[in-house]
Structure 1
């Protein structure tokens, strides 16, 4: 699934939500300099935000299709799995990862980050976690259970959560950092924000979600029709509540 998002890289780049400026500002302010490595950079969504904040960003992604689109938008991007990537002697002031760190081995990822971070450099892995309105959430859960009955998670639990399902993911990331050593004690940051979606905008991004990236077209069409009807019943648009959750730590000087 981790390598399926590039099946429609243009849609991913167009439709996926950005990150709140406060997240970018907090990471930049707590890093010793402007050199940033974006792990799992995808199409460059987070990287472009860091560039706009004055950073020099290098992206690394396992998917050549995603990295190729990132390059076309002006980002320097290399194709590799992060734990096997060769930094070629380069080091960085921050290692960031948006929506990606859970695809890595938490210990191997932290170890590689420690290898390439300068003293005082910041590791920051962050995720957008959203909760749609109840009617949209229920429609998505119902059609998911019908069309994709073998999902490896409960779709109703997925759509009802905001942060409920994320503690284990955050704990795993923090434990990986602690196990590697050479970092300050990991912290968790949270930034709450909202985003308004029209029916068409929400249906545009739905196929980019991991549960649906490998779904056959006829099944995806059924999902979109069912969820679209629920949004139409709400008047054709809705507001999504998001929290951007971050696990972060700084490289210690003596490591």
Structure 2
């Protein structure tokens, strides 16, 4: 599990190309409990900065990006110059006490130990601060998407969301949840990049990577997705938020 959790740096290009952006309304909802005004936000497991940029786009926020992988942070700085970056994990944040109003994790909470991470994030947040968790998950209610998932294998995130197993601990209160359904227009190349950005494939033997690529191409041929053509990938964005107690 640790190897998979820290494997993404070798596929920063695929991650940036293949992974979708976060809907602005979902990111705004994560921070909604905070009063208006300037907000200090920590993006934990920031990766290439997709959630960092979504928070910055809301305005009135400064973001500190944290990731265990220096390669991911290099990619983030290249896409988002000027953002403070530090190497760390949700369980060990190299940050002072009570310095942030919110902490957000995009596609990341399934990699953490929730009790230890909740305590450490709670240390960094001020009383009344918000912990926001968000995932973009392919909508497997669509038949061809189910088949694609079977070819690529499911992910820990998908399993956590499907089983309603998202949990946080003290000092945070109850989790609120909200979901958004939307579609992303994707090319064949972007679909392959999405698959290559997943920890299962990054850490898989070459023969398994080839098997998955061949299976995907066979499915795309069946769907009539030619090179340069596009299809609409249905997504569900699942967002959760909890407020730190006093």
* TM score, norm. by length of structure 1: 0.82
Match among 67, 71, 76 for residue 73 of structure 2: 67
Query: Which residue in the other structure is 1:152 paired with?
Result: none
Matches within 5 A, 1:179-190: 180-181=170-171, 183-190=172-179
Alpha-carbon distance, 1:44 to partner: 0.7
Is contact 1:127-1:245 (8 Å) kept? Answer: yes
Cα distance per residue 1:116-146 (max 9 Å; x no partner): 11222111111111135423532552x55xx
Q: 1:230 to 1:246 in 2, by over 3 A?
A: same
2:161 maps to 1:166: yes
5+ residue gaps, structure 2, are none
* TM score, norm. by length of structure 2: 0.85
Query: Which residue in the other structure is 2:40 paired with?
Result: 35
SS in 2 for 1:215: coil
CA RMSD of aligned residues (A): 2.3
Which of structure 1's runs of 4+ aligned residues deviate more than 6 A?
none
Alpha-carbon distance, 1:82 to partner: 2.5
Quote the Cα distance in structure 2 between the aligned partners of 1:102 and 1:234: 32
Q: 1:110 to 1:167 in 2, by over 3 A?
A: farther
Q: 1:39 to 1:222 in 2, by over 3 A?
A: same
How many residues of Structure 1 are paired with residues of Structure 2 in the alignment?
232
Match among 234, 237, 246 for residue 241 of structure 1: 234
Query: Which residue in the other structure is 1:149 paired with?
Result: none
Quote the Cα distance in structure 2 between the aligned partners of 1:90 and 1:119: 8
Matches within 5 A, 1:1-255: 1-32=4-35, 33-54=38-59, 55-73=61-79, 74=81, 75-89=83-97, 91-131=99-139, 133-138=142-147, 141=150, 143=151, 155=153, 158=154, 166-168=161-163, 170-173=164-167, 176-177=168-169, 180-181=170-171, 183-236=172-225, 237-252=230-245, 255=246
Quote the Cα distance in structure 2 between the aligned partners of 1:203 and 1:76: 31
Quote the Cα distance in structure 1 between the aligned partners of 2:107 and 2:125: 20
Q: 1:163 to 1:212 in 2, by over 3 A?
A: closer
SS in 1 for 2:11: helix
